[in-house]
């Protein structure tokens, strides 16, 4: 967020700016776990990519050369592109019950539940409609 907007009230900011402020406030406390509900929804493509990079830096994994994993992420999302970019595991919930809990890539390759298959086919349909 630009420095000239730091003293503005929430109603003086755009939705995307408010979203970035909320994420920054949450990260400022150096949490061990960040719970994010649709954290990238409604962002334009450039900002979305920058936010993915920010999340990746905060979620740095020792296997990728980071000294320690700094923050875990529990992300609630229907945005499968974000899930693929940021998550190791995915949980699919249907009618309040967990029907899948597995590595993201396994879910994307072959969902083992009807709800997982519906989620992936809906996302594929949306992607095709925007192509």
Pick the closest to residue 19 from 42, 45, 2 (CA basis). 42
Domain membership flag for residue 1: yes
Pair type for strands 33-37 and 89-94: unpaired
CA atoms within 13 A on the CB side of 94: 12
Taking the C-alpha atoms of residue 128 and residue 131, their distance in angstroms, rounded to an integer, is 5
Determine the average pLDDT of the residues in 52-78. Answer: 75
pLDDT of residue 99: 97
Q: Which of 56, 46, 116, 30 is closest to 80 using CA atoms?
A: 116
Q: Judge whether 82 lies within some domain.
A: no
> Is the same domain home to 69 and 98?
no
pLDDT at position 37 over 80: yes
| Residue 67 in tokens | 């000294």
Quote the pLDDT of residue 22.
82
Against a cut of 0.85, is the pTM above it?
A: no
User: 109: domain range?
Assistant: 88-131
Q: Name the domain count of the chain.
A: 2
The greatest distance separating any two alpha carbons of the chain, rounded to the nearest whole angstrom, comes to 50
Task: Give the bridge partners for 80, in sequence order.
Answer: none
- Give the confidence band of 27 by pLDDT, cuts at 50, 70, 90: confident
CA angle 65, 81, 79 (to 5 degrees): 125
Residue 129 confidence (pLDDT) above 70: no
Considering the domain boundaries, does residue 50 fall inside one?
yes
83 inside domain: no
91: confidence class by pLDDT, cuts 50, 70, 90? very high
- Separation of alpha carbons 73 and 71, rounded Å: 7
Let me know if residue 55 belongs to a domain.
yes
66 and 113 in a single domain? The answer is no
* Contact between 83 and 104 (Cβ < 8 Å): yes
In whole angstroms, give the CA distance from residue 127 to residue 106.
20
């Amino acid at each position: 967020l630009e420095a000239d907007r730091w003293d503005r009230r929430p109603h003086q900011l755009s939705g995307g700016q408010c979203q970035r402020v909320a994420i920054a406030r949450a990260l400022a406390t150096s949490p061990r776990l960040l719970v994010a509900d649709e954290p990238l929804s409604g962002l334009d493509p450039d900002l979305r990519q920058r936010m993915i990079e920010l999340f990746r830096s905060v979620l740095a994994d020792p296997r990728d050369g980071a000294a320690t994993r700094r923050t875990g992420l529990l992300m609630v999302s229907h945005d499968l592109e974000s899930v693929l970019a940021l998550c190791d595991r995915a949980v699919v919930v249907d009618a309040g019950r967990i029907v899948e809990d597995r590595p993201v890539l396994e879910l994307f390759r072959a969902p083992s539940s009807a709800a997982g298959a519906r989620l992936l086919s809906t996302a594929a349909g949306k992607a095709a409609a925007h192509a």
